[in-house]
Structure 1
């Protein structure tokens, strides 16, 4: 069975009250109320949101509407003299004929309507029903007297009818509030029951004075509660700020820890070095990306950088010789810095190796003309070699022979090549030529040494001829070469196990001592 949300009388009451209420939501649905006197929950003209709005706000709107009406002072009520219902006027709300007519007026604009007693009881405020009773039973002029009284003492309606008055009053003062309300109502009722011109100032004074004191207490409590609330809000804000700061700090620390762990990991270092090795080759971008796919990326890096971004960095390095990745704001700065460092170090090492090799091919090694041409052709194939012109290679090919007549670096060479040769020429002996020594050595280069030489002494001599490593690195390298020849000698003599056993015992003895 359909439920009625708004009866015709309620609908009409809201329409008449709206000018004084000026409620936004009620104004929005007012055209619907004007078109449909009765509104049910099953009405097909209702949207879901409007239906819910009416269900939620209906009672609230009716209560607020009851406060915007008052009895008309000059004619609060009248009784129709005719006994015939056909002569009676109709109630403005329920449209039924009524013999007892109550004239009510809208407080804001003075609009008057006629309402029956039942609708007064149903729709009007407690204040109006109170006045209606006194006016009907005791004093026809009670409304006019009440208007005079409230004009002089505007706090009286608040004392008598406002259920939300003094909301912050402490509980221990509620008895005083009840005393004020009861005393005021008794005084006002006694004043209204008889027609009189003099206001009950003397009788009301104690209650009004007490109410003024209660208002002061209420304000003090309201201010105190406001301060407490502000203090609580500040404390909550400070706590939230501390918690947020702690959360950010924890997040930053976790991110920093993860970053440190990633950068210290072997997989990270290996991957960036492999990518840097591709970058220093200055490959065309499609070839760079193809070769990049062959390098296994650590899973943790997959969330930080992709092939497109690495391609942008490779293009930048090829153009500028360094990586800033200004356009790639989402790439972690530490990753850009690490890749830039690896690439620049590797590029510098490659350039030095190439300078050593091209010097040795032109001057440092004793080579035939064909060997020299072959070495220079190989060096010309890499990126560093492609930076020189054909004329440079022509002079490099004949430099060893021409040096006897004119020991001068050609002025037509690029400045970097001239500087590289000058540094290596400064290290040459007074007579003869020695190779430019490399500042690092790879395992494959060491294998070439031990393959071409029969004994350790010859290998050491050849090593010192070709390489000049830092002291600590050289000590490790020579120790490894020496141990290699000792192990090979033990293997050839069949004493590897016995030697290993004796070494173990010796080391054990050393530990015991």
Structure 2
């Protein structure tokens, strides 16, 4: 069976009151409420959402609406002297003719309406009922006197009618609050029951002072509650931040451990070196992609970076000589840093090797002019050589002859090339030209030393002439060269097994 959610009188009351309530939901429903006086659960015009809003807010709207009205001070009520119903005014809520009229006014805009005695009982507040009783039974001017008192002491209505006026007042002071309310009501009632223009200031004074004390205690209690709440929120925030920080540290620690294990692994370091070796060639992107496709990354690395991202880093290094990969924030920063560091190291070594080769081809080696030109032309194939013009290469082929004639380096040559040549010229002996000695040696370069040498003494002499390695590295390299040379001779003479057997016996006697 359908249930009435809003009666016509309640609907009309809300229509008259809604400007003072300023409730967006009620304002939005108002056009429909004007067209449909009665609202029922089965009203076909009522959407599910609107029905939920009306059902949930109806009581609150009516209660708040009752507080928005007050009795009209100059004419709180009137009795129509006519016995004819046709002469009576109609109630603004139920639209029926009423003989006993109550004149009420909307506090927000001063709008006045006439309400019958039955309807006013349905919608009046405690304050209005209190004043209505005194006005009709004892003092017609009670409303005007009450308005004057409220204007002078606005805390009086608050003491009498606002139940939650002191929401944070400690329980220890509730008895004092009840005393203040009882005393204030008794004083106000005595004042309103008789017509007077003198406000009961002396009689109200102790209660108003008591209420002021209660307000101060309520405010202090509220401040303490707010402080405790803020402290609790701060503690919770601190605890949450600490928990989050701990979680981050745990994750970072786990990531750092995994990162360290990866970076310290031989496959990762080999991959970084292999990729950096391709990067420092500064080849076109297509050539780089073809070369990098032959470098198989470790499984852990393949999830961190792809070929496109490596191409971006290679292009950046080719143009700027460094890798920052700011556009590739998804790539781990340590991987970018490792590639940048290794690329710069290899590029510096590559540049030094090229400078050594240019010096040796132009000055250090005793070569015919044609061979000098051929070697210098070959050195132009790499990125470093492509920075030089063909004319400059031709001039380099005659550099040794110029230096022999004590000519200086041309001022038009690139400063970096001139600096590299001067550095190597500074360590040349006074009586001869010698090659610039490299600070490292590759297996291919070492193999070239051994192949044409008739004996190891020749190998040692060539190594000492062409390479300047740190002492420990030089000792290891010479030892390896000697073993390679001897084993190579044994292999050629088919005596490997006999030699190895004798070596094993010698070790057994150690």
TM-score norm. by structure 2 comes to 0.78
Mapped pair 1:443 → 2:443? yes
Whole-angstrom CA distance in 2 between matches of 1:205 and 1:495? 124
Aligned to 1:119: 119
**CA positional deviation for 1:113:** 1.9
3-state SS in 2 of match to 1:288:
helix
Give distance in 1, aligned partners of 2:61 and 2:13: 10
Q: 1:124 to 1:468 in 2, by over 3 A?
A: same
Contact 1:180 1:207 in 2 (8 A): yes
1:104-131, CA deviations, whole angstroms, 9 ceiling, x for partnerless residues?
2223444322223332222110121233
Aligned to 1:492: 496
Written as runs of structure 1 = structure 2, the 5 A alignment for 1:17-166 is 17-40=17-40, 43=43, 45=45, 50-80=50-80, 88-137=88-137, 140-147=140-147, 149-151=149-151, 153-166=153-166
1:114 alignment partner, SS class: strand
CA 1:378/1:99 → structure 2, altered by over 3 Å: closer, same or farther?
same
1:294-373 aligned within 5 A? 294-297=294-297, 307=307, 310-320=310-320, 322-323=321-322, 325=324, 328=327, 330=329, 338-361=338-361
Aligned CA distance change for structure 1 residues 505 and 82 (closer, same or farther; 3 Å): farther
Q: Cα–Cα, structure 1 residues 374 and 21, in superposed 2: closer, same or farther, change >3 Å?
A: closer
Q: Deviations over 1:399-424 (max 9, x none)?
A: 88x68995868859945556655655
Relative distance call for 1:88 and 1:255 in structure 2 (3 A) is same
1:158 CA displacement: 2.2
Contact 2:169-2:217 within 8 A present in 1 as well:
yes
| 1:8 matched residue in structure 2 | 8
Distance (whole Å) between structure 1 residues aligned to residue 382 and residue 197 of structure 2: 118
Aligned ranges 1:360-399 → 2 under 5 Å: 360-361=360-361, 375-376=375-376, 378-391=378-391
Q: 1:303 to 1:85 in 2, by over 3 A?
A: farther
What is the Cα deviation at residue 9 of structure 1?
1.7
CA 1:149/1:499 → structure 2, altered by over 3 Å: closer, same or farther? Answer: same
Kindly tell me: are residues 34 and 300 of structure 1, through their superposed partners in 2, closer, same or farther at Cα, counting changes over 3 Å?
farther
Change (3 A) 1:74 1:403: closer
Pairwise CA distance, 1:67: 1.0
SS of match in other structure, 1:102: strand
Q: What are structure 1's unaligned runs of at least 5 residues?
A: 507-513
1:473 paired with 2:479, answer: no
Could you tell me how far apart the structure 1 residues matched to 2:393 and 2:192 are?
124
> Aligned partners of 1:211 and 1:282: how far apart in 2?
86
Tell me whether 456-465 or 489-498 shows the greater mean CA deviation.
489-498
| Partner Cα separation in structure 2 for residue 120 and residue 43 of structure 1 | 28
SS of match in other structure, 2:473: helix
Report how far residue 66 of structure 1 moved: 0.5
Cα distance in 2, alignment partners of residues 417 and 210 from structure 1: 96
How much has 1:76 moved relative to structure 2? Answer: 3.4
Structure 2 SS opposite 1:105: strand
Does the 8 Å CA contact 2:76/2:102 hold for their aligned counterparts? yes
Report which stretch shifted further, 119-128 or 46-55.
46-55
Q: What is the TM-score normalised by the length of structure 1?
A: 0.77
Deviation of 1:163 after TM superposition, in Å, equals 0.9
Deviations 1:440-465 (A, max 9, x none): 11123333444444654443334324
Bigger drift between 443-452 and 415-424 goes to 415-424
* 2:166 alignment partner, SS class: coil
How large is the Cα RMSD of the aligned pairs? Answer: 4.5
Cα 1:181–1:469 change in 2 (3 A) is: same
Distance 2:235 2:390 in 1: 78
In the superposition, relative to structure 1, how do residues 27 and 497 fare at CA in structure 2: closer, same or farther (>3 Å)?
A: farther
Q: Is the 8 A contact 2:168 2:222 kept in 1?
A: yes
Farther off after superposition, 490-499 or 56-65: 490-499
- SS in structure 1 at match of 2:94: coil
What secondary structure does 1:494 align onto?
helix
Q: Distance in 2 between matches of 1:207 and 1:412?
A: 104
Aligned to 1:211: 211
User: Contact 1:392–1:413 at 8 Å: present in 2 too?
Assistant: no
Q: Which residue of 1 aligns with 2:169?
A: 169
1:16 Cα deviation (Å)?
1.6
SS of the counterpart of 1:115? strand
Whether the 8 Å CA contact 1:409–1:418 is kept in 2: the answer is: no
Q: Could you tell me whether the CA contact under 8 Å between 1:309 and 1:328 is conserved in 2?
A: no
C-alpha deviation, 1:60, in angstroms: 2.2
Query: How far apart in 2 are the matches of 1:424 and 1:18?
Result: 96
